[in-house]
Chain A
Amino acid sequence: MEFAVLLGTPLIGALVFAVGGAGRRAPEANAACSLITFAAAVALAVRIVAGGSLTVAHEQFFIDPFNVFLVALTAFVGFTTSLFSRPYMRVEMKHGRISAGRLRLYHSMYQLFIATMLIALTTNNLGLLWVAMEAATLSTVLLVTLYRTPASLEAGWKYFILCGVGIAQALFGTILLYIAAEKVLGADGVSALLWTHLNAVKGQLEPRVLSLAFVFLLVGYGTKVGLAPLHNWLPDAHAEGPTPISAVLSGLLLNVAIYAVVRCKVLIEGSLHSSLPSRMLMGFGLLSVSLAAFLLWRQRDIKRLFAYSSIEHMGIIAFAFGMGGAVANFAALLHMTVHSLTKSAIFFAAGHAVQKSGTQVMDRIRGLMTVSPTVGWGLMLGSLAILGMPPFGVFASEFLIVTTAMRDQPWATPILLLALGVAFAAIFGRVQSMVFGETTARRLPHSPALLPVFVHLAIVLMLGLFIPPYLAGWYRAAARLIGGG
C-alpha cells in the first residue's frame, strides 16, 4: 500500500503536470506530490525497520534496510527541493529566463525523475535497475537544457552522450551477469536477474565472467556516479541546469548510482572470493577524491565548484564501500546521508546568491553577508559542514572513514588527508570572500525563504552530535547487508 503510493504519486504527478493540469498552482501541486511521496516513504521505512525486508509484485520489487533508507532520503530531499524550487522558479520566470511551457516541462520531469530514482532504488530486477537509471538520465537531460543557452545545450549533450555510453556499458555488464546467472538459476527468464535470487546463489556463479561483468558495471554506473576519469559530464550538467536540478542531481542521483554499484559489488564479491571489486572501487574512489580536490582550485563558477566537491565526496564514499566491513559501510552510508543533505542545502543557498548577484562567477559575488545575512550564513555554514568541520555530521563520517583507512589501508590515508586538506583550502577561501567580501550592493528589503537550507543543516548537525539509536540500528543493519571487508 505505502509502496504503491510511493511510486504512484510521482508517476501520476508527472503525467498531470505534462498535460498542464494544476495550471498556475503547479509549483504548489509539485510540493504536495513530493510531500505525499515523502509520507509514503516514511511509512514504508517504519514498516521495514519494524518487520524486516519485503518483496512486492512477484518479487520484482524488494525493500530492505539498505534501500529503504535511501528511499526515505530521496523522498525527503525531493520534498524540500520542491519547496525551494517554488519561489526560485517564480523568480526565474520573472527574469524571463523560462516560459510557462518550460515550467510545465520542468514540473513534469521533476516528478518523473523522482519516480525513476525510486524505481531504481526499490527494484529487485537488475535489468529494471538499468532501465530506471537510463530513464533518470533521460528525464533530466531536458531539465539541464531548460534555459536553452549555448552552454546549457552543450552540457545537456555531454550529459546525454557520456551517460548514454556509460549506461550502455552497464547494460553489457548486466547481460554478462545474466549469462552467468542463467547457468545456475535456469533459463526460465524470470529469476535469473532478481537480486534476491542471485544473492542466494552468488557463491556458485562463474567468477571469470563475473569479474568481467563487474568491470563493465562499475564503469557504466560509475559514469553516473561521476567517478574520475568518467566525471566530465557532471560539472557541466550541474552548472548549467536550474539550481533545484543541480541540488537533486548532486544530492540524489549520485547516491542512486552508487547504490547500483554497491548492489552489484555485493553479488560479485560473493562469487569471486577475491578483493578485485573492492580494490577497483577504492582505486576509482581515491582517484576521484584527489583529482577533484585539485580541480577545485581552477573553478570560477560557484555551481561548478560545488559540483567538483560532489565528485570528491562520491570518491570518498566509493573508497569507503571499497574498504568494506561494518564500520566503513556504516560510515559510507552516513556520508551518503550527510553529503546529500548538505550539498543540496549549499545549492539552495548558492542558487539564491546567484539570483541576487545575477552571475555564477565567484569573483563577482561579494558581500553576501551584507546583502542578505540568511543567504550568507546558509552558504557559510553549508560550506563548513561539507568541508568536514566538527560538529557537523560530515566530520563524523569522514573521521570514521579516515580512521578505518588507517587501520585497514594505511597506504591510502595520506592521499585522503592531503586531498581533504587541498579541498578545504580551495573551497573555504572562495566562500569566505563571497560571504564576507566588500560590496557596494545594498541590503535586500526582505530576506529569501531559506527554511530548507537550515532544516538540512540542522539534521546534519544533529547527525554529527548524536545519531539516534533508532537510526544507528538502521544504518548498522544496512551496513551488515553490504558486508565485505
Chain B
Amino acid sequence: MNLALFILSIILMAFNLVWIISFTPMVPDQEWAQKIFYLHVPLAWVGFLSYFVVMLSGVSYLGSRNLKHDRLGHASAEIGTLFTGLVLITGPIWATPIWGKPWVWEPRLITTLILFLIYVGYFILRNVGLYRQRVALICAIVGIIAFLNIPIIFASVNFWAAEIQSHPQMGMSKQPSGILAPFLFSLFAFTNLFFTMLFFKIRVLYSKDKKDNYV
C-alpha cells in the first residue's frame, strides 16, 4: 500500500513538473518567476492541511491518551514544518525579482513566520527529555493552540489595511487562463505527496516507539 502510494507520488510529481515547466502559460513581467507559484501555494496548502491534522490528532489524544494519535500529530507536524519552511524559502525567491527585495514585514509573511516558529518550539518541546506521555500531552495542547494561527494567516490580507499588503490576493479569476488546471493538479500532487510522507513517518515513529517499549 505504502509502496504503491510512493510510486504514485513520484509519477504525479514528475507529471506535475513537466506540466509546470512545459505547458503553463508565461505571465507577462513575471515570466519564469511566476511558475514558482505552482510550488509555493501547494506547499502552503499542504502545510496548513498538516497543521489541521496535528490539531485533530491533539484533540484525539486528549480524549483517548492513546500514543497512536500522538504519533500521527508528530508525523504531521514534521511534514507541515518542512513544507512551511519551504514556503518561507520559495516566497523570498519569488519576491526577490518581483518585489525587488526578498522579505517585507507584511501581515501574511509575519503570521506565517510566527506559525513556523511556533512549530520550531513544538519540536524543541519534543526533545527536552520529558517522559513520553507528558511530551504527548503538552504537544497535543500546543498543536491545538498553534492551529488558531491558520485562520489568522488566511484572513491576514483582510484584517490589516490594504496599504501595508504587498501580497498577491487569492482571486484566481484575475489570472490568465490556463493557470487554474495545472495549479489544481499541483495541489493534488502535493497533497498526495503529503499522505505518502505521513504514512511513512507514522511507520518510522511506530517502529521507534516499539523499540522503546511504548507499543
Are A and B subunits of one complex? Answer: no
Interfacial residues, chain A to chain B (CB-CB below 8 A)? none
